[in-house]
Amino acid sequence: MSLSEKIIEAISGPLAHRGYELVVMRVVSGKVISVDIDIDRLDNAPVSVDDCVTASRIISVIFDVEDFIKGRYNINVSSPGEYRPINNIDDFPRFLDREIILELRSPLNNRRKITGKLLRVEQNSCNAVVYLKEWCDTSSEEIAVPYQDVKKATVKRVF
């Protein structure tokens, strides 16, 4: 198991218990190792400075106990910002009726990037489809995007 996987496994549960979701975690090597962590609130409220402090304290205690990194390191906790990544298909329903941006692996209607309102997500044991309505589209047509064609997905945050 890689260092990143060990860290994610160790901190995800305790963060969730306190109402936070681990969105992105990066380990940057250098003279001092930097562990950059983006969190989101499970109640969809904006992430505050106090949230970052609370999450940082939780993570620091875990790092002290687990001793993941030998030597000096910094832990940086922040919000994911204006464009929050949607990391897996199970995250999509949380952002229904919100503006999302999909970057596609292959073109759909001659485009690799689609922005629109997330209408619904349908899943079965074999595949998943994301349905959205484009913001600039005046028709009532939905766009169906197979999840396996999604390279990157983000939700535009409203602050």
* Residues sharing a CB contact under 8 Å with residue 2, sequence separation 6 or more, in sequence order: none
Cα separation, 103 vs 150, whole angstroms: 6
3-state SS of the chain is: CCHHHHHHHHHHHHHHHCCEEEEEEEEECCCCEEEEEEEEECCCCCCCHHHHHHHHHHHHHHHHHHCCCCCCEEEEEECCCCEEECCCHHHHHHHCCCEEEEEEEEEECCEEEEEEEEEEEEECCCCEEEEEEECCCCCCCCEEEEHHHEEEEEEECCC
Domain shared by 104 and 149, yes or no? yes
The confidence score (pLDDT) of residue 140 equals: 63
Domain shared by 29 and 66, yes or no? yes
Domain shared by 74 and 96, yes or no? no
Q: Indicate the number of domains in the chain.
A: 2
Which of 64, 80, 96 lies at the terminal end of a domain, its last residue? 80
Which of 32, 51, 80 lies at the terminal end of a domain, its last residue? 80
Tokens of 136: 């600039």
Domain shared by 68 and 91, yes or no? no
Domain shared by 104 and 43, yes or no? no
Residues of the domain holding 30? 3-80
> Residue 152: phi, psi to the nearest 5?
-150, 140
Domain shared by 66 and 117, yes or no? no
The confidence score (pLDDT) of residue 70 equals: 86
Tokens of 9: 């496994």
User: pLDDT per position in the chain (159 positions), as tens?
Assistant: 888 999 999 999 999 999 999 999 999 988 899 999 999 999 988 899 999 999 999 999 999 999 888 889 999 999 998 899 999 898 999 899 999 999 999 998 888 999 999 999 999 888 899 999 986 656 667 899 999 999 999 998 776
Whichever domain contains 62, its CATH number is 3.30.300.70
The confidence score (pLDDT) of residue 148 equals: 93
The confidence score (pLDDT) of residue 137 equals: 58
Tokens of 19: 């109402």
Domain shared by 34 and 55, yes or no? yes
Domain shared by 14 and 62, yes or no? yes
Domain shared by 8 and 62, yes or no? yes
Whichever domain contains 128, its CATH number is 2.30.30.100
The confidence score (pLDDT) of residue 77 equals: 97
